[in-house]
Amino acid sequence: MASLSQDQTQRFHKPLEDLDTAEQTVGCRRNTPDNCAKHSMQCVCAFVRPDGMCLTPPLSWPKQHAKLLQLRLDGGETR
């Protein structure tokens, strides 16, 4: 069984969720969420928001989102 930290480090590369955009993510997509300046911040952090949305994904997220979106469009994504 994978540890929580291993699951979190792989989260950045997992297929897109339906509500993921280049500006927000379903859940935290950071490899090391403890280093996030917005960690546990009300109304911003996925760990404390009731809807689980992260409103401040990593700066590298828009590029990764584009890659994952293209993979989905090409049919190479498995859910």
Residue-wise pLDDT tens digits, 17-49: 999 999 999 999 999 999 999 999 999 999 999
Domain extent listing, the chain: 4-73
Residue-wise pLDDT tens digits, 60-79: 999 999 999 999 999 876 55
pTM: 0.84
CA atoms of 74 and 36, how far apart (whole Å): 32
Name residue 65's amino acid.
H
Confidence of residue 3 (pLDDT cuts 50, 70, 90): low
Please check the confidence at residue 5 and state whether its pLDDT lies above 80.
no
Please check the confidence at residue 1 and state whether its pLDDT lies above 50.
no
Tokens of 76: 């190479």
DSSP string over 2-71: --HHHHHHHHTTSPPPTT--SS-EES---S-GGG-TTTT-TTT-TTTSTT-EESS--TTHHHHHHHHHHH
